[in-house]
Amino acid sequence: MIDKLEYTNKHELIFLDQSLLPLKEKYLKTKNYKDIVEAIKALRIRGAPLIGIAAAYGVVMGVHHYNTENRKNFQIHFYKVIESFRNSRPTARNLFYALERMTKVFEENLEAEFNDLEDLLLREADAIFDEDVEMCNRIGVNGADLLGEKSTVLTHCNAGELATGGIGTALGIIYTAKKQGKDVLVYADETRPLLQGARLTTYELGANGIEHDLIIDSMAANLMKEQQIDCVIIGADRIASNGDVVNKVGSYSLAVNCAFHKIPFYVAAPGTTIDFDTETGDKIEIEERDADEITQVRGEKITGSNVNVMNPAFDLVPNNLVTAIVTEYKVHYPPYNFGRLKQMFQSYIQTLPSRNDDD
């Protein structure tokens, strides 16, 4: 397993700078929560679940390294830390889920000794991390059932080990299928403009011994036409309660192409990615990123000046284009109604319902 992030007993976070991969495997170390905010904005730490985990530890760090005996100032500081993480990336549901859990622990223990409160916050961050590892494993098992003995899977962006606490969501399914003895070939979309597919997915598929070919994004439709793709599996940044999916820009065109070519389009994500309070995908904020990500390549301008740019990080796949959503609970089919999973998350109960419960 790739070491992507570790919170040490010195209250510092050590993390792999994913913006440099695969050319440099560089670990950064910090005791300052603001560096974690910056790392999330700059995609050094990325992928919805990993962003949530990093932010949870960032909150613990922000509390630990703040010196005050004054309760009022302490509270003001806590909410300031939470707010700076909330403003780091708007789309990843897991980020907000993690911050809600940390805030709940804080508010329920306002009267506790500083040290005790800090311990409780650390325990919560550890739990968010551990639960994500477990959710990935379960998604892997649930999703592997969708793959035949020999499959060709196309994936977009990076929804693997590097994006989560565990083995990943979309890629977790592939690793699990491979472990079960299935034969899987992966086509990895390069994923313009930041090349998470080319840089990260190929890196981790290679590290895990999965056969793969890198393709440019615009090649996917033709591969489908030539019947070289059995299914598409992607992750999600946020899923509305009706099953509309927001994921890395380019996901929508893959879904349209799948519908046209009658190829299953699967989404793999934990319950922590589902925004149960948002009914439809059009209500989800899509992050707009800096124009430089498109007008520059490795710091060098490739366009003339004054070029207008649209650079949304994600797009919306309407639920009618989604064949199934794989969660840690089960494989959900349309019409999407996350029933028991929704109840569980809304009441913060961390035990999974049985698969036999009604959805």
Question: Which residues are catalytically annotated?
Answer: 237
Q: How many CB atoms lie within 10 A of CB 213?
A: 15
- Choose the binding region for ligand MRU from 26-34, 77-85, 230-238, 335-343 (rule: CB under 6 A): 230-238
Residues in 249-288 at the binding interface with ligand MRU, rule: CB under 6 A: none
Dist CA 202 CA 82 (whole Å): 34
DSSP track, 14-73:
EEE-GGGTTT---EEEES-HHHHHHHHHTTSS-SHHHHHHHHHHHHHHHHHT---S-HHH
Q: Judged by CB, which is closer to ligand MRU: 105, or 267?
A: 267
Least distance (Å) between residue 272 CB and ligand MRU: 10
3-state DSSP helix/strand/coil % of the chain, to nearest 5: 45, 20, 40
Q: Judged by CB, which is closer to ligand MRU: 124, or 189?
A: 189
For residue 142, the number of C-alpha atoms closer than 13 Å in the C-beta half-sphere is 24
Least distance (Å) between residue 243 CB and ligand MRU: 16
Residues in 288-327 at the binding interface with ligand MRU, rule: CB under 6 A: 313
Q: Judged by CB, which is closer to ligand MRU: 35, or 132?
A: 132
- Choose the binding region for ligand MRU from 68-76, 161-169, 257-265, 337-345 (rule: CB under 6 A): 161-169
Which single residue brings its beta carbon nearest to ligand MRU?
Answer: 235
Q: Judged by CB, which is closer to ligand MRU: 93, or 101?
A: 93
Q: Does 84 bind ligand MRU (CB under 6 A)?
A: no
Q: Judged by CB, which is closer to ligand MRU: 148, or 312?
A: 312
Q: Which of 142, 152, 196, 201 binds ligand MRU (CB under 6 A)?
A: 196
For the four alpha carbons of 8, 13, 18 and 20, in that order, the dihedral sign comes to: negative
Q: What are phi and psi of 302, to 5 degrees?
A: -115, 0
Dist CA 106 CA 126 (whole Å): 15
80: helix, coil or strand? helix
Q: Which of 93, 101, 212, 248 binds ligand MRU (CB under 6 A)?
A: 248
Least distance (Å) between residue 315 CB and ligand MRU: 10
Residues in 3-62 at the binding interface with ligand MRU, rule: CB under 6 A: 43, 46-49
Q: Tokens at residue 38, please?
A: 């910056």
Dist CA 106 CA 207 (whole Å): 39
Q: Which of 95, 163, 223, 324 binds ligand MRU (CB under 6 A)?
A: 163
Buried/exposed 56-87: b ≥16 CB within 10 Å, e otherwise: bbbbbbbbbeeeeeeeeebeeebeebbebbee
Q: Judged by CB, which is closer to ligand MRU: 223, or 234?
A: 234
Least distance (Å) between residue 86 CB and ligand MRU: 16
Least distance (Å) between residue 312 CB and ligand MRU: 11
Comparing CA positions, the residue from 165, 184, 164, 166 lying closest to residue 174 is: 184
Dist CA 342 CA 61 (whole Å): 30
Contact positions toward ligand MRU, by CB under 6 A? 43, 46-49, 157, 159, 163-164, 169, 196, 235-237, 247-248, 313
